[in-house]
Amino acid sequence: MSKYTIGVDFGTESGRAVLVDVSDGREIATAVYPYANGVIDERLPESGVRLEPDWALQDPEDYLRTFQQTIPVVLEQSGIDPAQVIGLGIDFTACTMLPVKTDGTPLCLLPEFRGNPHAWVKLWKHHAAQPEADAINATARAMGEAWLDRYGGKISSEWFFSKALQILNESPEIYAAADRLIEAADWVVWQLTGVETRNACTAGYKAIWSKRDGFPSKAYFGALHPRLASVIEEKMSCEILPVGQKAGGLSEQAARWTGLEPGTAVAIANVDAHVAVPATTVTEPGRMVMIMGTSTCDMVLGTEEHIVPGMCGYVEDGIVPGFFGYEAGQSCVGDHFAWFVEHCVPAAYELEAQARGMDIHALLEEKAAKLAVGESGLLALDWWNGNRSVLVDVNLTGLLIGATLATKPEEIYRALIEATAYGKRIIIETFQKNGVPIHELVACGGLPEKNKLLMQIYADVTGLPIRVSASKQTPALGSAMFGAVAAGKAAGGYDSIYEAAQVMAHLKDEQYLPNPENQKAYERLYAEYVTLHDYFGRGANDVMKRLKEIRYMRQVSR
C-alpha cells in the first residue's frame, strides 16, 4: 500500500498543504488558504489600533485555519485513506514570533491584550525593532561576544531577540504576561501535537543559538536589559531539537481539525527556505539554493567553518546534517515587482493586459524582454525593503537613477529585476571571497515559475548556470520529506533526509546559461551598481537613513 506524507508551508500571505507520494515525491494534491488577516501593517483587526511605520504583524488564528482549511481538502481531492498518511512536516517564515501563555494561548487572543500590537505575531518583515538590533550589536561588540562573527558581525532587526527586546522596551506588560516567547513554526507544531518543542534551525539562524555554545550568556542578556537576563529559562527552552526528528504524534484535537489519524508523526518545525534545500536535490557544497518569493533566501552548504561578513549566519547541521549551512538573503524581490505593479503601472498597460488576457507581470516581462542590456539607461538599488545581506541595514531605501522623459514602465520594471540580480551577485562574490565556493544556482519558489526573463538576467549578471526545482511548491515538498523522515523507515518513510532527497526531490531538465554577450554588457552596469551600493550603503552619504528618520518623525507626530 502506497504511503504519503503532507507538507504544510506557511508563507507571508497564505498557508499551503501538499500531499506527496513518499516513493517518488509526486505531488498528489495541493490546497492553499489565503490568510484572512494577511499581513497586518496599518491597523489591528477589530480594535483598529493604528500601527507605526515598519510594523508587520499576523494573526495566529490564520495559522490554525490553514490546517483546518487545507489538509481536509488535499485528503478529499486525492481520495487517499488518512491511514496511508504516515507523517506531517511544517515549515514557516522566520523569524516570525509571538508571546503566548503556558498553555500555548497567544496573548492577542486574550481580550485584555487584543488592542496591544505587541500581543500579536511579529512577522519576519516587521522592521520596527532596529533600535533593539542596534543595542544587541553594540552590546555584543562591547562585551566581545564571540557569536557575533557567526552572523556576519550583525544581528538583524528581523531576528528573535530584536523583536523580544522591542516587546520588553515598549510593552513591559506584554513581556510580563508572556509565559513563553516562541517562533510561530514551533507554536504550530505545539498546536498539532500538544507538545512544546524548539527546533535547531530557527534557534540557530534567528535566535543566536549554536550546537556547541547554546544561547548567549545571562550576563549578556542582562546587559541588554535586567529583565531579559533570564529570558531563556523563563520564556524559552534550553532543549533545542535537530531538524529531521519527530516532535510527537498528532493530538486528538488536531486530528479532528485535519481529518488525519491521531498519532500521525509530526516533524520538528523547520524554516521555509531551509527545507527547500534538500527538496531541490542539494545535499552537498557548491550549489547555492535560492528561494525566490516576496523576498529571497540563499543557502549554501560548506564543509568548513568560515566567517562571511554581512551574511545572515551559519549553523552547523542547520540545513543538512554534517555540513555548515550558510544563509543569506534579499529582503525585497517579489515584493519589489508587486509594489511596482500595484503603484506604478499605468492604466493603459492594465487595459492591454486585459485585452490580451495576460497577467500584468507577464505583459511587463514581455515588454522588458525586448530591451537590450543597458538600453533603458536605468540603474536601481534594490533596497525598497532595506538590505538583508552584505550591508545588513533595514534603514537603507530604494534608489532609481537614470530616468528621462522617455523612460517607460517596462524599463523601470527591468531595472528593478536587474537590481535584485546585482544584489545577488554581491552576495555570491562575498561568499566566494570568504572561502565558501559556489558554482551553480538552484532556484525554487514562485518567481522562477513566473518570470523566465528574471532567471536569464540572474544567469547573465552572475555568470552562473541556474537549474530550477521541478516542484512548484518546493518548501511544502521539503516539509513532506521531513514528515517522511519523522515517520521513519519502519513506518514506510525514511531514516534520513539524504535518503528522502534521493527519491523525492527533482530538478527540471532546462537550465539557464549565461549569455556571453549580455554577461559582458552587465559587467559595466554591475560596476556602477557596486559604486552606488558602497556610496549609499557604507557611510559615505547616509542620506537614506536621514530621510527615513525625518519620515519616521513626521509619521509618528501625526
What residues line the site for its own copies (CB under 8 A)?
41, 53, 332, 335-336, 339, 342-347, 350-351, 372-379, 384-385, 397-409, 521, 524-525, 528, 531-532, 535-536, 541, 543-544, 546-548, 550-551, 553-555, 557-558
For its own copies, the closer of residues 13 and 495 by Cβ is 13
Please report how close the Cβ of residue 371 comes to its own copies at its closest, in angstroms.
8
Give whichever of 199 and 385 is closer to its own copies, judged by the CB atom: 385
Nearer to its own copies, 53 or 437 (CB): 53
- The nearest distance, CB 381 to its own copies, in angstroms, is 9
- Our CB check for its own copies shows the closer of 50 and 546 to be 546
Question: Least distance to its own copies from the beta carbon of 535, Å?
Answer: 7
Q: Between 137 and 385, whose beta carbon lies closer to its own copies?
A: 385
- Output the smallest distance, CB 391 to its own copies, in A: 16
Q: Please, which residue, 322 or 516, has the CB nearer to its own copies?
A: 516
Give the Å distances, CA to CA, from 155 to 146, 307, 328, 558. 13, 14, 12, 31
Cα(301)–Cα(327) distance, rounded to whole angstroms? 9
Considering only CA atoms, which of 458, 467, 475 is closest in space to residue 515? Answer: 458
Q: How far is the CB of 373 from its own copies (least distance, A)?
A: 7
Q: In the structure grid, which three cell numbers stand for residue 64, read together?
A: 490554525
CB of 369 to its own copies, least distance (A): 15
Q: Could you report how far apart the first and last alpha carbons of the chain are, in Å? A: 64
CB atoms within 10 A of CB 239: 8
CB 400, min distance to its own copies, A: 5
- CB 406 to its own copies: min, Å: 7
- Least distance (Å) between residue 517 CB and its own copies: 12
d(CA 544, CA 436): 31
Neighbours of 127 (CB within 10 A): 21
What are the backbone dihedrals phi and psi of residue 422, each rounded to the nearest 5 degrees, phi first?
A: -65, -40
Question: Which residue, 495 or 542, is less far from its own copies as judged by CB?
Answer: 542
Grid cell, residue 311, equals 551574511
Residue 319's contacts (CB-CB under 8 Å, 6 or more residues apart) are: 201, 274, 277, 278, 299, 301, 325, 327
Indicate the residue among 377 and 435 with the shorter CB distance to its own copies: 377
**What minimum distance in Å lies between the beta carbon of 403 and its own copies?**
3
Dist. CA 279–CA 299, nearest whole Å: 13
* Residue 32 host element (H or E): strand 27-34
Q: How many CB atoms lie within 10 A of CB 406?
A: 8
To the nearest whole angstrom, how small is the minimum distance from the Cβ of residue 55 to its own copies?
A: 11
Question: Is the alpha carbon torsion for 341, 345, 347, 350 positive or negative?
Answer: negative
Per the CB < 8 A criterion, the answer to whether 25 and 503 are in contact is yes
Phi, psi of 11, rounded to the nearest 5 degrees = -95, -165
Q: How far is the CB of 547 from its own copies (least distance, A)?
A: 5
Cβ distance to its own copies smaller for residue 502 or 519: 519
* Cβ closest to its own copies, residue 128 vs residue 231: 128
Between 171 and 397, CB nearer to its own copies = 397
Minimal distance in Å, beta carbon 350 to its own copies?
A: 4
C-alpha span between 394 and 42 (Å, rounded): 19
Q: Between vectors from CA 215 to CA 214 and to CA 217, what angle results, nearest 5°? A: 115
Sheet with 313-316, strands from edge to edge, namely 313-316, 324-330, 296-302, 286-292, 438-444, 466-469, 507-512
DSSP per position, 433-465: HTT--EEEEEEESHHHHH-HHHHHHHHHHH---
CA angle at residue 342 from 341 to 348, to 5 degrees?
65
Alpha-carbon 156 to chain mean position: 13
Is the Cβ of residue 489 or residue 546 nearer to its own copies in the bound state? 546
Task: Give whole-number Cα distances, 444 to 247, 278, 420, 496, in Å.
Answer: 27, 12, 16, 22
User: In the 3-class helix/strand/coil scheme, how is 466-514 assigned residue by residue?
Assistant: EEEECCCCHHHHHHHHHHHHHHCHHHCCCCCHHHHHHHHCCEEEEEECC
Nearer to its own copies, 96 or 376 (CB): 376
